[in-house]
Amino acid sequence: MKSEKFFFNSNIGFMLTESAVLSARFILCGVLGNSVKRRSVKFFCLCAATAALFALALFFAGEAQALRMTMKRVIFEGPKRTEILTIVNNSAEQQTYRMGWREMRMTENKSLVYIKEGEKVEGFQPASPMVVYAPRRVVLAPGASQQIRLMLRRPKDLPEGEYRSHFWIQPEAPANRFAADGAQKGGKGSSVQLKMLTGMTIPVFVRNGNMKASASIGDAHMETGKDGAYKVSFAINREGNRSLYGSLSFTCGPTGPELKGISGLAVYTEVAKRVQSYAVPAPKDGSTCSQIGIKYTAPVEDSYFKGGVMAEGITK
């Protein structure tokens, strides 16, 4: 049996926040020597998938990112027609990036999932047909940046409502060409190379007409672990014709000190609630909490809530 070359390509998404999805494209290529059976290709691919997940976790645990963007969300509302976001190649290599649209829907428990072509989702309306962008492809040297212009072409007869699509930017790179030394020298050696290409996806909203929404915290309860920390579970309920977006804070009791904060949590228009569960640490002074307070606050740039508290609740 001659040396056998193989290629494995996989895409994995990882949520940074509800507004920013970091995606990774894993490319595995290599050579299996003539002493390796054909079924070993499957084994190598399985190992690659495991290594990819592990590498992804390690990569996102750090602060460094190969691709950086200046914005996490783009919102067209009122007279706004243009937005400019900047991307930065933070890697040590020249990168070619391409842009495009993805349609994603939210679920009550699993955050964001891709919408299949032809799939109808109640409460979801895409923004991509009315937003154009330029350029569509850029080449950036290490440390270089590029502005991407998004322009809204709002139809005159556009029905009232919120429209959303996810704008993605991802490296465009083929698998590295290489030949394993062992395979070259008689075909007895085997070698594998794994390369990770990271991209990012952000939501783009178009809001038209009278946008209103309200939120409430429901079914809040807590459990105390052996280490003294608390498991806090609850639902964020949404009503209205627009999505919610904000940060969570957890306090010891309704007015006690803050124990934990979570930023970038959204509830989109296709769901009426989001079910959440978080580990909340105990107070640093060693005291205990009979209840945990929950507060959901909008960012100051929110045109409707203007930085106000959208919902408050307390565990039973």
CATH number at residue 252: 2.60.40.150
Tell me how many degrees the CA angle 147-150-154 measures, rounded to the nearest 5. Answer: 165
Question: What's the chain's length in residues?
Answer: 316
Prior bond to 135 cis, omega within 30? yes
Predicted confidence (pLDDT) per residue in 105-134, tens digit: 999 987 789 999 889 999 999 999 999 999
CATH number at residue 66: 2.60.40.10
Classify residue 109 by its DSSP letter: S
Asked if 201 and 224 sit in the same domain, the reply is no
Beta bridge partners of 57: none
Nearest C-alpha neighbor of 131 from the set 197, 18, 72, 208: 208
Asked if 200 and 225 sit in the same domain, the reply is no
Asked if 56 and 188 sit in the same domain, the reply is yes
Quote the tokens at residue 283.
């107070």
Asked if 157 and 17 sit in the same domain, the reply is yes
Asked if 149 and 22 sit in the same domain, the reply is yes
Asked if 203 and 288 sit in the same domain, the reply is no
Q: Hey, how many other C-beta atoms are within 10 angstroms of the C-beta on 235?
A: 18
CA Rg, the chain, in Å? 24
Question: What span, in angstroms and rounded, lies between the C-alpha atoms of 193 and 135?
Answer: 32
Asked if 222 and 202 sit in the same domain, the reply is no
pTM to 2 decimal places: 0.79
Last residue of a domain, one of 208, 229, 252: 208
Quote the tokens at residue 11.
């895409």
Predicted confidence (pLDDT) per residue in 265-308, tens digit: 999 999 999 999 999 999 998 899 999 999 999 999 999 999 99
Nearest C-alpha neighbor of 252 from the set 311, 293, 303: 293
Asked if 193 and 278 sit in the same domain, the reply is no
Asked if 201 and 304 sit in the same domain, the reply is no
Asked if 187 and 68 sit in the same domain, the reply is yes
Q: Could you tell me which residues come within 8 angstroms of residue 45 by beta carbon, excluding any fewer than 6 positions away? A: 6, 8, 28
Beta bridge partners of 87: 69, 146
Question: What span, in angstroms and rounded, lies between the C-alpha atoms of 41 and 93?
Answer: 30
Last residue of a domain, one of 151, 181, 208: 208
Predicted confidence (pLDDT) per residue in 134-176, tens digit: 999 999 999 999 999 999 999 999 999 999 999 999 888 654 5
Q: Total domain count for the chain?
A: 2
So what's the pLDDT on residue 225? 85
Domain that holds residue 20: 4-208
Last residue of a domain, one of 152, 173, 208: 208
Asked if 109 and 190 sit in the same domain, the reply is yes
Tell me how many degrees the CA angle 156-162-163 measures, rounded to the nearest 5. Answer: 80
CB 304 within 8 A of CB 245: no
CB 287 within 8 A of CB 224: no
Asked if 25 and 119 sit in the same domain, the reply is yes
Question: What span, in angstroms and rounded, lies between the C-alpha atoms of 192 and 44?
Answer: 8
